[in-house]
Amino acid sequence: MIYQRPRGTRDIYGDELERIELINRGAREFFKLNGFTEIRTPTFESIELFVRSIGLHTDIVEKEMYTFEHDKKMFVLRPEGTASVLRAVLENGLKPPCRLLYIGQMFRKERPQKGRYREFQQIGVELIGEAAPFYDAECINLAVRFLDTIGATHYFIELNSIGCPVCRQSYKNMIENYLKPYLPNLCSDCQRRFEKNFLRIFDCKKDSCQKIYEVAPKITDNLCEECGLHYQKTKEFLKKFNINFEENKKLVRGLDYYTRTVFEFKLKGLGAQDTIIAGGRYDLLVKELGGDNTPCIGWAMGVERMLLALPELQPEIKKSKKFFIAVIGESLFDEGVKLREMIIKNGFICIHGNPLDKIKTQMKDAHHYKVDYVIIYGEDEAAQGVYTLKNMMTGEQKKISQNEIIQFIEQCQ
Ligand SMILES: [Zn+2]
Ligand SMILES: [Zn+2]
């Protein structure tokens, strides 16, 4: 019997892992140049942190968290990055404004499907301590520019404002009155949401509910004066950045902590899993977690979904030439070590065979590793002061001098 990985997880290796690492490296480079510093927080945190931040009546907290008990305390594998980052900012006394980047694994007990895993990687950025609408636009702009650097193009941006507690309270009365006659027609999820977390009804996937919400009044049209101005100014700055976006008045996001601006980057043709970046403003969360009043905005990108969505646009992996050194006999070992150093210094891959193996065994290894060249150095070669170079792609084999082998390695591409 072979053990199997848990459902919804996966093993990442080879080209796919290289692509993920390329995106991660790209993110580190790009965001460093834009004034961000990277932060790494623990993979598990106390359960209270997420209940407090994401909200008790959200899908994540109600049914998607991996929890465990230790020392009579409850912990969770982090389902998202923002709460941990803010906890770290407060705990370590980082002074806002700060710009933070995080890259790491998140965990959610969701139903697995293509591009959706129970352990997945996110790249996220947070602009902490920034209240002005310029930063809403800048935050979205940074995502657009970053996607440029990794070659993503087939996406569109959806934007909305879900206001502040003031406008939400008056809107709540309005939507309650409006929906009252329709309540029996809503699905059971929506009826439940309506009681506990009313904005989230707009998230419902059922056509029968959506038909009702289509014509219902939207919070976007009922913002308080300040939220309205903030939204207006955000859109103006986005236009100044030359960023195209669509307003979606039903975009509300599944987490409680958002205020005002929310946005999603969606890919065309991906169906239900089409969101690659999601984010928004969370002006009240730092205070909720025990800090001073600190407005913030940020987003997170799902790396797996990104890769799934863009197979033809994945960054090209530069394949380095691969060498195999077949030294025959222990007495010639030093020569192999020198050769390997030279090959690696020139940026090529090199595998050193076991000098105690016969040439036949070493050639078998070289085949197995799919190398491009084998350099053979045995007694004959040592006596003649040459190397045998075998081109594994053409099968051609020739004896060349030491100078020639150095030249060959230096000019190899
Ligand atoms: Zn407001
Ligand atoms: Zn519904």
In the chain, domain spans: 14-164+224-313, 322-411
- Ligand 1 centroid to Cα of residue 272, in Å, is 31
Ligand nearest to the CA of 191: 2
Which among 245, 258, 294 has a CA at the least distance from the CA of 137?
245
- Ligand 1 centroid to Cα of residue 283, in Å, is 12
Burial 111-148 (b: 16+ CB within 10 A, else e): eeeebbbbbbbbbbbbbbbbbebbbbbbbbbbbbebbe
- Ligand 2 centroid to Cα of residue 181, in Å, is 15
In this structure, what DSSP letter does residue 370 have? Answer: T
CATH 3.30.930.10 assigned to 14-164+224-313? yes
- Ligand 1 centroid to Cα of residue 36, in Å, is 29
- Ligand 2 centroid to Cα of residue 121, in Å, is 29
What CATH number does the domain located at 322-411 have? 3.40.50.800
- Ligand 1 centroid to Cα of residue 7, in Å, is 43
Determine which of 60-74, 123-137, 300-314 has the lowest per-residue pLDDT on average: 300-314
- Ligand 2 centroid to Cα of residue 222, in Å, is 22
Helix (H) or strand (E) holding 174: helix 165-179
Using pLDDT thresholds of 50, 70 and 90, give the confidence band for residue 309: low
Could you check whether 14-164+224-313 and 322-411 share the same CATH topology?
A: no
As given in the structure block, the two tokens for residue 286 are 């730092």
Mean pLDDT within 77-86? 97
Using pLDDT thresholds of 50, 70 and 90, give the confidence band for residue 314: low
Ligand nearest to the CA of 171: 1
As given in the structure block, the two tokens for residue 79 are 């389902």
- Ligand 2 centroid to Cα of residue 92, in Å, is 42
CA separation (Å) from 202 to 174, 266, 281?
15, 17, 19
Ligand nearest to the CA of 211: 2
Which among 311, 303, 322 has a CA at the least distance from the CA of 368?
322
pLDDT (0 to 100) of residue 256:
77
Using pLDDT thresholds of 50, 70 and 90, give the confidence band for residue 151: confident
Q: Catalogue the E-assigned strands of 89-177.
A: 98-107, 119-128, 155-161
- Cβ atoms within 10 Å of 384's Cβ, excluding its own: 11
Tens of pLDDT, residues 15-30? 889 889 989 999 999 9
Residue 109 has pLDDT above 60, yes or no: yes
- Ligand 1 centroid to Cα of residue 225, in Å, is 7
